[in-house]
Chain A
Amino acid sequence: MIKITDLQKYYRTEEVETVALNNVSLEVKEGEFVAIMGPSGCGKSTLLNILGLLDDPDEGSYLFNDIEVAKFNERKRSDLRKHNIGFVFQSFNLIDELTVYENVELPLIYTKVSATERKKRVEEVLEKMQIMHRRNHFPQQLSGGQQQRVAVARAVVNNPKLILADEPTGNLDSSNGNEVMQLLTELNEAGTTIVMVTHSEHDSRYTHRIIRMLDGQTVTENILV
């Protein structure tokens, strides 16, 4: 599903050029659950952003479902992203002005799903995430765990082939964290590919494979399954 080869990414300020990714190559197969680990600043978030088509690499190739996307323009990336990729963030990133229901509905609006279909799908996913009773609440009225469940619901409502999670449990206590990891596992078992950046060895045990990074390079891969 994902195949990147010799990926390079630099960040330039006026005086310094920092190498964020240095000749990174990796492959993620459909149905895999992969963790990316490493110390702060090793480039794992940059990698995730590039995988999620939020950022573009300076050099190298990125095949998404056998299509070369490294040089896609903003519109094409956005199009591909909204139909194929769901995101889960450490800080949830729900829109405060929208209710639970409306937050989850948002990706469907951008993919121009009809109103009746939207209603059906949002309710379905809220039911699945056991957050239906909170559908008319605003994010601030929810606990952290509930907010992340809403974020996961939003990530999966479009039935993406790939979910990218950036430290999804980072802002949660351990029981809420476990709950979210359980959710992701279920999604993976149902066929969704998941790439997750994490600091937590505990969370990484839910995955099939761990990619460790250091200073912009992949250093080791542990196959867990």
Chain B
Amino acid sequence: MIKNYILVALRNLWKNKGFSAINIVGLAVGLATCLIITLYVIDELSYDRYNEKTDSIYRIDADIRFGGNNMKLAVSSDPMGSTLKRDFPQVEQFVRFRGYGGFQVKKANENLREDRVIYTDPTIFDVFTLPFIEGNPKTALVEPHTVVITEKTARKYFNSASGVVGKTLTVNDTSNYKVTGVIQNIPSRSHFNFDFFVSLAESSEARANNWVSHNFNTYIVLKPGSDPKLLEAQFGKVIDKYIGPQVKDLMNINMDEFKKSGNYISYSLTPLSTIHLHSNKTAELDANGNIQYVYIFSAIALFILLIACVNFMNLSTARSANRAREVGVRKVLGSLKSNLITQFLTESVLLSFFALVLALIIAWLFLPFFNQLAFKEISFNLFAQPWMLPLIMVIIVIIGLLAGSYPAFYLSAFNPIQVLKGKLSGGFKKSWLRSGLVVFQFAISIFLIVGTVVIYSQLSYMRNKDLGFNRKQILIIQNTDALGSAAGSFKNDLLKLAGVEHATMTGYLPTGGWRSDNPLFPDASLDQKRAVSTQTWRVDEDYIPTLGMKMVKGRNFSKKYLTDSSGIIINESAAKLLNFKDPINQTLYTLEDIKTKKLMQYKIIGVVKDFNFNSLREQVTPLAFLLEEQRNSVAIQIKTSNISGLIAQIERKFKEIAPSQSFTYSFMDDDFNNIYNNEQRIGKISVTFSVLAILIACLGLFGLASYAAEQRVKEIGIRKVLGATVVNITEMLSKDFLTLVIIAAVIAFPFAWLAMNSWLQDFQYRITISWWIFAAAGITALFIALFTVSFQAIKAAIANPIKSLRTE
């Protein structure tokens, strides 16, 4: 029996090649998309799983409110880790990471910039599973000026991964670091990714016992069976015992008073396995993923699969009239309804298997493209897991059954007498379910179109928003600290070049990156109630003109006033929080040293208009400029048509001063756009998926339209004989489908609005979703549908009516 079913199924597929192709290709594309997204989700969900102790590793995070600022930090204070280990028996081990930025490493005569550098405790190898190729993990980072490097770094500097231990690396031309270990490269699915692990032993900050400064990403390992909640419950005591005295010492208040004025400090444990997808705090070790996108993509995958299944159901039932006679004959010959159901389900499962094979090929071919799009290194080998194949098989059978169920029940219920007499009623137009399914498909497509347009509008809004500074035509020469004291004259030399308008020397540029806040106090008593948590940037007097920022009060720094070295310029947000009647000439205090309680005082000389120095996801926070030399980079405003020529000139100047240093530069525009890499990627991915969804939906619509035309060929013939024009016929055939698309739009719009509005809430600076986005999405879908349908409709309309009438 089953052989007979398969035989008929195969011959049927072959006989209706067009339909079969649409069916199989549609389902395969849907499945392939689903497979790729599944890989992406598996990849995202398996971060940090390479660690043997994954489930017992926790990061200590701080949530602090102080000086008008609420900070959710992925870092904690320097003594936290060791204190927890000492005071709580369930804490087995701890390790701290401290980023001090990158450095220059000498290779032959050249200095190479390395950014993947982290300073850490020797216990790192007890906590994380980072296998050694060479060296002893127990002793590797105990001594100061030692470094453990990854295999690829060893190959880069020593051309070998072995025999490297004991050799030295010269850093910043000044210090030598002894390599004490070579570890395997960090797995791609890790929430941190470093090539240099430098011993923290040389850092005095790491031993400062400063409970009120948070700079260390601190991880602890809990002993098996211990409950992290119980440990978290003890954090209040830790705060009272250790932080309380330091706050008292510093600000002369106890913790209760500190809390009364609306401030707080609290700590929590973040499980390692949740960091990648659930943690997006200040001072993360690397940009993390976002569980929201995992949900969104999973939903899209499901939607696309549903669209493909719907196609399958629709095309199969639409074709049912052609199968009706077969059903009738089989019933007359003794087939039961259940036999027929089995037969049609067998067919659809078979078809799904064809689609699966094709889908695997498509997914395999397009995975590299997706990786590029999503900035991922997902391997097709993820499918090699033992549970994967059976799972896919089960899913395919389910899809086959699901997609085949409606046609199976529909077809098997045919009355044999009627179908054998050729009196099959029901026609094409009457199927509510089929119409419902088309509506469903297009609703999803329109939803995706709206989503994509909103994402792109927000991106373009961010790209073009007036940020309060000019980022166009700003060239940034990095690594100028390598020029040492000659950096200042380098900047002055650049100003003499044709095409250079302005130049400023500082590493504090408004293109993202985390910088810690310091409290500014409006009086010398350090009254914490009036403290304003502020970023302080060290800049020169050319900074504001170079970046085109505007002063709202007072003046910029100037060489004319020697006292400007103790002047300060604050932004509008800081001025608002400091709440002076007139901020100009008011004095601000900062704590220079916690131990000695040495104060610094600054006179406000100006207020700069607020500019966005963080991402547009966040509000502008308080910020202050101090006049102080900072040599990290030189930013120049250029005005030339020959940019590459100018860059070559600058490079020559740079190399004249420091021939062995690497010359690197970037455009502020690009740096700025990089802040939104994630959104841009999401945008590109959602465009791709939307196009796919629409494509699959259109494939189905095309099939249905051609079928509708085929079914109504006699009606069309009669109408033409009676005088209908091609336009009349095309209109008649297209109208039904277009109505469905309009209904779909009406259903999709509110959902799309809700979803995209909630996405936009992540941005402090955002667009409002205007009506034209919906209009555009609706009209786009309508046109695509019209194009798809009218192609078939016109074909049917121009056919010779005599022919169709005679064949009946």
Residues of A within 8 A of B (CB): 45, 49, 52, 54-55, 74-75, 78-79, 81-83, 87, 89, 91, 93-98, 102, 106-107, 109-111, 154
Contacts and interface: CB of A to CB of B under 8 A. Distances in A.
Contacts of B329: 93-95, 106
A81 B4 contact: no
A91 B329 CA distance: 11
Nearest to B8: A97
A154 B417 CA distance: 18
A55 B417 contact: yes
A211 B416 CA distance: 25
A75 B336 contact: yes
B806 interface: no
B332 A87 contact: yes
Contacts of B335: 78, 110
A141 B11 CA distance: 15
Given A54-B416, A89-B420, A95 B8 contact: yes
A87 B8 CA distance: 21
Interface in B1-15: 1, 4, 7-8, 11-12, 15
A125 to B, nearest CB: 14
Given A89-B420, A97-B8, A106 B326 contact: no
B15 A106 contact: no
Contact of B334 (A55, A82, A98, A102): A82
Interface in B448-491: none
Given A93-B329, A95-B329, A97-B326, A102 B4 contact: yes
Top 4 nearest A-B pairs (CB, nearest first) are A82-B334, A110-B334, A97-B11, A107-B333
A55 B417 CA distance: 8
Contacts of A102: 4, 7
Contacts of A107: 333-334
A74 B332 contact: no
B337 interface: yes
A106 B11 contact: no
Nearest to A157: B333
B330 interface: yes
Contacts of A111: 334
Contact of B326 (A75, A91, A95): A95
A75 B331 CA distance: 11
Contacts of B4: 102, 106, 109
Given A55-B417, A102-B4, A106-B4, A81 B332 contact: yes
A74 B412 CA distance: 13
Interface in B527-570: none
B722 to A, nearest CB: 27
Nearest to A75: B336
Given A54-B416, A91-B420, A95-B326, 18 more contacts: A55-B417, A78-B334, A78-B335, A78-B336, A83-B334, A87-B332, A93-B325, A93-B328, A93-B329, A95-B329, A97-B12, A97-B15, A97-B326, A106-B333, A110-B330, A110-B334, A110-B335, A110-B339
Interface string B12-48: 1001000000000000000000000000000000000
Contacts of B332: 52, 54, 81, 87, 93
A74 B340 CA distance: 14
A109 B417 CA distance: 22
A74 B336 CA distance: 8
A111 B4 CA distance: 14
A83 B334 CA distance: 8
Contacts of B11: 97-98
A87 B421 CA distance: 14
Contacts of A96: 15, 326
25 contacts: A49-B417, A54-B331, A54-B417, A74-B336, A78-B331, A78-B335, A79-B334, A82-B334, A91-B422, A93-B332, A95-B8, A95-B329, A96-B326, A97-B7, A97-B12, A97-B15, A106-B330, A106-B333, A107-B333, A107-B334, A109-B4, A110-B333, A110-B335, A110-B339, A154-B333
Contacts, number: 65
A183 to B, nearest CB: 19
A111 B333 CA distance: 9
A95 to B, nearest CB: 5
Nearest to B333: A107
Main secondary structure, interface of B, reads helix
A45 B333 CA distance: 18
Contacts of A154: 333
B556 to A, nearest CB: 86
Contacts of A109: 1, 4
Contacts of B420: 89, 91, 93
Nearest to B335: A110
Contacts of B331: 54, 78
Contacts of A45: 421
A96 B336 CA distance: 20
A16 to B, nearest CB: 16
A89 B336 CA distance: 20
Contacts of A52: 332
Contacts of A91: 420, 422
B333 A82 contact: yes
Nearest to B327: A95
A223 B596 CA distance: 131
A111 to B, nearest CB: 7
Contacts of B333: 82, 87, 106-107, 110, 154
Interface in B407-454: 416-417, 420-422
A169 B422 CA distance: 18
Interface in B288-338: 325-326, 328-337
Contact of B337 (A49, A74, A83, A97): A74
Contacts of A97: 7-8, 11-12, 15, 326
Nearest to A111: B334
B422 to A, nearest CB: 8
Contacts of B417: 49, 54-55
A151 to B, nearest CB: 10
A140 to B, nearest CB: 10
A102 B10 CA distance: 14
Contacts of B421: 45
A109 B422 CA distance: 26
> Which one of B332, B333, B335, B416 has the highest number of Cβ atoms from chain A below 10 Å of its Cβ?
B333
A95 B7 CA distance: 12
Nearest to A89: B420
B330 to A, nearest CB: 7
Could you say which of B329, B420, B421 has the most chain A C-beta atoms within 10 Å of its C-beta? B329
A157 to B, nearest CB: 10
A78 B337 CA distance: 10
A96 B324 CA distance: 12
B629 to A, nearest CB: 86
Interface in B745-803: none
Contacts of A110: 330, 333-335, 339
B425 to A, nearest CB: 11
A224 B330 CA distance: 35
B548 to A, nearest CB: 75
B8 to A, nearest CB: 5
Contacts of A98: 7-8, 11
Contacts of B325: 93, 95
Nearest to A95: B326
A79 B337 CA distance: 12
B324 to A, nearest CB: 11
Contacts of B336: 74-75, 78
A74 B331 CA distance: 10
